[in-house]
Amino acid sequence: MQKRRLPGRRPLLLALGAGVTAAALTASMTSAFAATVFSDDFTDGNTSGWSKSGGTWTVDGSGVLNQSNAGSELARQFAGQTSWTDYSVQARVRPASFGSSSALVGLAARSASSTKMYRLALLGSGRAELQAVNGSSVTAIGSAALGVGTGTWYTLRIETSGSTIRGFVNGTQIASGSNSLAGAGRIGLVTAYASGGFDDVTVDSSGGGTPTTPPPTTTPPPTTTPPPTTTPPPAGWPTPTSSQKVDATITVSGSFDGGLKRYYGIGDGGQSESQDPMFELAAGATLRNVIIGAPAGDGVHCEGNCTLINVWWEDVGEDAATFRGGTTYTVDGGGARSASDKVFQHNGSGTVHIKNFRAENVGKLYRACGNCSTSYQRHVVLDNVTVRNTDAIAGINTNWGDTARFSRITIVGDPDRETSICVKYKGVPKGSEPTEIGEGADGVNCLYSSSDITYQ
């Protein structure tokens, strides 16, 4: 995407180690991070591809992402993949206000969770500090007194290579150290009891788990149909055992069994991409026996491989679930209704398995992201699925090698057969809109036969 010309910046004069010049240090470090695999200058006016947690975030008319709630204890925007390991992330950051000397505006790398990350923080005290953050425990890797002020742009960069973490402000290293808190994770923009602006975010990688463009080829699902499951899609929606209003995202690691309780209360029930999720699942987590009521924000976020068992969405709102990191995701049982756009959004790599599931009054049951910041080859396998009043069952990007495989699909109440089984798109870079280029079985990307589809 086209970048704006950056305004001039006054370089910071900081002392480096004996015998090392700033130019030599910069050259030695940037050579390892040559491939730009993510960039966002917010000129598209939105935060598509980012996941918000706390704060009040808006993109202004000049294409700057602002967090304006200076009273927020911890406001964050995350992007990228939890599998990213060795990389450099850079952004321009402009503090707008600090509530105290310990308040901060900064940049994060290797965000293994919403509270575990490396953070380069501009503090209200005027210092810049490179930190290892694990919940309420914050370890300073190094810092420098810079006289940080509000209303000034600073270019922050964090470089991660194995256990070595380095922080740079305006091109000059202010801290370096060895730390093993997080070996992989997403990038982040953060504030704490402060407000500020963010712009021109880029991620470079030397191959630490981040794909380049064009997207890499992944192993598609097997060509043989898996053995049928015996559990049919449920005939109706379950009755909640109780209801619980949720005011903040519920993070899940391991297994969470809701006992068919209804959870509701996040977001406004609309289509805004900036809403918090109801549940955020860490890599390997399982969510089961949950009814998600309205409003439900952005539903469920899977930050790595995840399993959703008997999860129900009474009113989807934005998306029911977004698969962000990892390579294998499973939806087994449950159902979703009232999704004007899509039910399952696949942003990460790998394969989504959807089985024993029903959907009613939805746009698409599954959509492989066609304009995310990072492009992947994605796959979906749908088996034993029933849909009613659904525009399309799956949408994929054939130019990236996506595949969709269908078996035992039942379409109810569609005598004219207007429901599209598999819609093909041409995937595009972030900031553009993918174009529809066809639909229907082709034996290459859309894999099914007439016997796999039943109309009732």
Output the six-digit token pair for 22.
């700033």
Kindly calculate the radius of gyration of the chain based on its CA atoms and give it in whole angstroms. 23
Find the farthest-apart pair of alpha carbons in the chain and give their distance in angstroms, rounded.
79
Specify the pLDDT at position 38. 85
Specify the pLDDT at position 258. 96
Mean pLDDT of 285-290: 97
Residue 378 has pLDDT above 90, yes or no: yes
Residue 224 has pLDDT above 70, yes or no: no
Beta strands in 60-171 (DSSP E): 65-67, 75-79, 87-98, 104-113, 116-123, 127-134, 137-145, 154-161, 164-169
Which residue, 155, 207, 218, is CA-closest to 35? 207
Residue 212 has pLDDT above 90, yes or no: no
Specify the pLDDT at position 116. 94
Q: What distance in Å separates the CA atoms of residue 356 and residue 226, rounded to the nearest whole number?
A: 13
Mean pLDDT of 134-161: 94
Q: What's the whole-number average pLDDT of the chain?
A: 86
Mean pLDDT of 58-66: 93
